[in-house]
Amino acid sequence: MTTPRWSERALTVSEVTRRLQSAVEPSFRGIEVRGEVVGVRTTAAGHTYFTLKDASAQMPCVFWRTALARHPGRVADGMQVVARGDLQIYPAHGRYQLVVQRLAEIGLGDLLARLEELKQRLFAEGLFEAAKKRALPLVPRRVGLVTAATGAALSDFVVTARRRMPTTIVLCACRVQGDMAARSIAGAIRVLARRPAIDVIVVARGGGAALDLIAFSDERVVRAIADCPVPVVSAVGHEIDTTLADLAADRRAATPTAAAELVVPSRAELLAELRRRDERLMRATERRLAERRQELDERVVRLARALDVRLERARRAVATRRERLAAQHPRTRLAGLGARHERSHARLEAAMRKLLAGLGQRAAMATERLALLSPLASLDRGWALVRRQSGSVVRQVTEVAAGEEVSILMRDGTLVARIVDVAPASSPASDQPLRTHPLREEP
């Protein structure tokens, strides 16, 4: 793209601003400007910013802290003042402002004081309490409008309201400025309050100076708003203007256009909101149904489990009772008795075998002990048993006589002998053995 030759001569923004400063600031030093103070704002550093305005223009102003310290009073909205200072072009924002050196109040001092006293009195009565504020209807059937029959407020409100949604607007025209304005405004509010099917009332007026809006701070207007049976919206002046009607109303709008947007809903927005709510309702319904289905499924599962448990318990109970009943059947009892008989017989046989075994063992032991005690056992060691013909055992030599036959029992047989001599123990021959003469040997 080719750069035109004339662009080479173009000034920068800074150059234009410096030229304006050189041309304007020297010509506007020490000027005095009269107007109404609005939008007062004090910074943490102590500087105060505000705007001076009249019916058709406004001028930003700054009151530096050092100059403000010499000012005897305070700077407040609604004051009619004469400000003296220098006009300054502020390059950073590309705008001009009045750097105030001195400020003199010229009007509304007594009026503002009376309005403040009225405000405090009505506040003490509870006319401005937030708890008394009523909600606006979502979709009003009829909107009552209190404003001048001619003027921008009526046009702005009607055009905006009808653009948003077709709505019936009932106009009660009144004066909005002058000595008769307060009575006219209060009367219009009461007239609309008595009309049937009026859902909300809007009290509107375009912007103006503080004196132009004074009628909307009249006590009659404030009480008419407070006594109104339907919600009231105040749309008086600009956003920076505040009247007692604004404090008494249920809602405040910055402008008549803002009041129309506040009172009359947008048809498109309502439809969109309805669609959103319908979607949310559908989603909530589907979610709820899904939750209910899940709960139902869980309950069915729990019920099936409970039924299975109860059926299993019932089966076990039936099986137990069947076993008990079968145990009481004669065949079962006879079989049990037979088994008991067999077990008892087996135990008896085992006991008898054990007893016999014990007895046999005891007999064997007794036999062994008897064998050990038997005199015949001594035969194995070389001893002999001497018996007389009568069969009695000869224990002493004195029991036999010489010539008597005796039998001598030895380990391998019996000898028959005749006594030749008897030698008792007391005689010298006692150490001699019993002498016998064997007659024969018996096997």
327-356 tens-digit pLDDT: 777 777 777 777 888 888 888 888 888 888
How would you list the strands of the sheet with 385-388, edge to edge? 385-388, 405-410, 413-421, 435-442
Residue 72: its pLDDT value, please?
76
What sign does the dihedral 115-119-122-127 (CA atoms) show? positive
CA atoms 167, 173, 176, 181: torsion sign: negative
Within the chain, which residues score under 50 in pLDDT?
A: 427-431
Q: Which residues contact 255 (CB under 8 A, 6 or more apart)?
A: 156, 206, 207, 235, 238, 239
Using the Cα atoms of residue 27, residue 28, residue 30 and residue 33 in order, give the sign of their dihedral.
Answer: positive
Residues 142, 168: Cα–Cα separation, whole Å: 5
SS3 track for 8-43: HHCCCHHHHHHHHHHHHHHHHCCEEEEEEEEEEEEC
* Cα–Cα dist 169/172, whole Å: 10
pLDDT of residue 187: 94
The set of long-range contacts for 13-17, using a CB threshold of 8 Å and a minimum separation of 24, is 13/94, 14/91, 17/89, 17/91, 17/94
Burial 108-137 (b: 16+ CB within 10 A, else e): beeebeebeeebeebeeeebbeeeeeeebe
Supply 110's token pair. 């007594």
Predicted local confidence at residue 79, as pLDDT: 83
Do the beta carbons of residue 174 and residue 181 sit within 8 Å? yes
C-alpha angle with apex 442: 437 to 443, nearest 5 degrees? 140
Strands of the sheet containing 200-205, edge to edge, are 168-173, 142-147, 200-205, 232-236, 251-252
Cβ pair 391, 384 in contact under 8 A? no
Q: What would the pLDDT profile of 261-303 be if each residue is shown by its tens digit?
A: 999 998 888 888 889 999 999 999 999 999 899 999 999 999 9
User: Residue 435: its pLDDT value, please?
Assistant: 57
Give dist(CA 222, CA 236) in Å, integer.
13
